[in-house]
Structure 1
Amino acid sequence: MLEIIQNGGWMMVPIIIASVLALAITVERFWTLRPSQVAPADLLGRVWGWMKNKQLDGQRMRELRESSPLGRVLAAGLMNSRHGRQIMKESIEEVASHEIHEMERYLNALGTVAAVAPLMGLLGTVIGMIKVFAEIMVAGTGQANVLAGGISEALITTAAGLVVAIPALICHRILQRRVDELVVFMEQESLKLVDVLHGDREVADSTGAKQ
């Protein structure tokens, strides 16, 4: 493996750096964007239980804000619920926009790696072919080993760029889809909270009975 990297020439250095960056972002985002940590499915039910049992005090609100991004969105709505439906929705949207921005952190960088890595491989290919033609001009076509070295460098960098770009692109698409799904779920939960507090929706308890 080390010999292949060495044969790829100096363009292998930025390609390797790009691969490390893509791997780090992918691991961090998959860990951070776990649905159970971003938008727990049972969180709204717990909030409704606190409200029904009159347990929604300052301590519960702090617990809610610290629990997850969805918790912070719901807490913003609860804190402004007495000001009317429109103000409540605006406060939810304001906090949600910040949380969405945080969820999308580093995804642009991952997409950039996926787009740039093949170009770096192509640049390595061009450099390798330039070396081949330069050697042909100096020594002719008789030194096959020299020509093979330049061609090998060109092919290695092309392959390396694609090896980095393809997984990076796949992971970028998966993570972007995950963010979109989480955002939709958070919007649905927030609207349920708004509707419940302002009388447009009834909440069912665990037995299915309306409250």
Structure 2
Amino acid sequence: MPARLFDTITSFLTLGGPVVALLVVLSVFALALILLKLVQFWRERVGRHARAERALHAWFHEGYGAARSALEGDCSPAGTALAACMRLATLRNVPKAEIEDDVGRIALTRLHDLQRGFRALDAIAQVAPLLGLFGTVLGMIEAFRQLQEAGNAVDPSLLAGGIWVALLTTATGLAVAMPVSLVLTWFETRLENERVAIETMTGAVLSHGVESRGREPARDGAPDTVVGVGHAH
């Protein structure tokens, strides 16, 4: 079975020529990059905001300590940005604009790291159909050259066979480009949703004024107290 598969692949590459071989290399590279991005998105918990949402709820109803505990172990971009926003918001001498700048830098760094590889996937999605078309043009040129050399002894099967092989490169290019384009769109959508989550959650933290955030609820008539500042994990 492996020998038959190898023969099939070899025959396919021989028919398509160097253009198909190049498209196969691009497809392997794109697949490896997609798998790496999937692992990265899973490891960094992109799109998983359950902990951040619990922390946000705890921030408004229980105080900074409970919110910080809820964010422990959350390595998502939204969770990291929210933890930094809450920590800075408990410091009364930190202006709101400075908090927004610091959180923005954290979010930008994380999102930029997640975007690595997107341009390569976009380039493959755009170049693959063009390479396929280029291979088709080269194949058609070769087919008509052979037709001219045949003179009066024209064999229709010769022309048909040349056109079939030429169109093979276009089909291969489209087969590479379409799934890569769809996966790239999915990645970009997930990243945009993460950006919106960061803006929404940190905006909610900062929307009620710096001085009143992070306070523990009063007990037995005692005045509210600000929870001590600590670093969220």
Which residue is 1:135 aligned to? 146
Q: Say which structure is richer in helix.
A: 1
Shift of 1:200: 7.3
Shift of 1:45: 2.5
Which residue is 1:5 aligned to? 13
Identity of aligned residues (%): 28
Letter in 2 for 1:176: E
Which residue is 1:46 aligned to? 55
Letter in 1 for 2:143: V
Out of 95, 99, 109, which is 1:84 matched to?
A: 95
Normalising by structure 2, report the TM-score. Answer: 0.72
Three-state SS of the structure 1 residue aligned to 2:197 is: helix
Summarize the Cα distance change of 1:71–1:187 in structure 2 as closer, same or farther, 3 Å threshold.
Answer: same
In 1: Cα distance, 2:214 partner to 2:208 partner: 6
Residue ranges of structure 1 left out of the alignment (5+ in a row)? 206-210
Which residue is 1:164 aligned to? 176
In 1: Cα distance, 2:190 partner to 2:54 partner: 23
In 1: Cα distance, 2:50 partner to 2:72 partner: 16
Matched residue count = 202
Out of 99, 121, 133, which is 1:110 matched to?
A: 121
Which residue is 1:195 aligned to? 207
Normalising by structure 1, report the TM-score. Answer: 0.79
Which residue is 1:15 aligned to? 23
Three-state SS of the structure 1 residue aligned to 2:49 is: coil
| RMSD across aligned positions (CA) | 3.4
Summarize the Cα distance change of 1:33–1:196 in structure 2 as closer, same or farther, 3 Å threshold.
Answer: farther
In 2: Cα distance, 1:43 partner to 1:72 partner: 9
Alignment deviations for residues 134-188 of structure 1 (CA, whole Å, 9 cap, x no partner): 2123223524454344222211101101111111111122221121111111211
The worse-fitting range, judged by mean Cα deviation, of 2-11 and 118-127 is 2-11
In 2: Cα distance, 1:35 partner to 1:48 partner: 24
Instruction: Trace 1:19-98 onto structure 2 (pairs within 5 A).
Output: 19-34=27-42, 37-38=45-46, 39-46=48-55, 49=58, 52=63, 54=65, 63=72, 67-81=75-89, 82=91, 83-98=94-109
Out of 155, 164, 176, which is 2:188 matched to?
A: 176
In 1: Cα distance, 2:213 partner to 2:43 partner: 25
Shift of 1:48: 6.4
The worse-fitting range, judged by mean Cα deviation, of 174-183 and 143-152 is 143-152
Three-state SS of the structure 2 residue aligned to 1:186 is: helix
Shift of 1:63: 4.9
In 2: Cα distance, 1:200 partner to 1:180 partner: 30
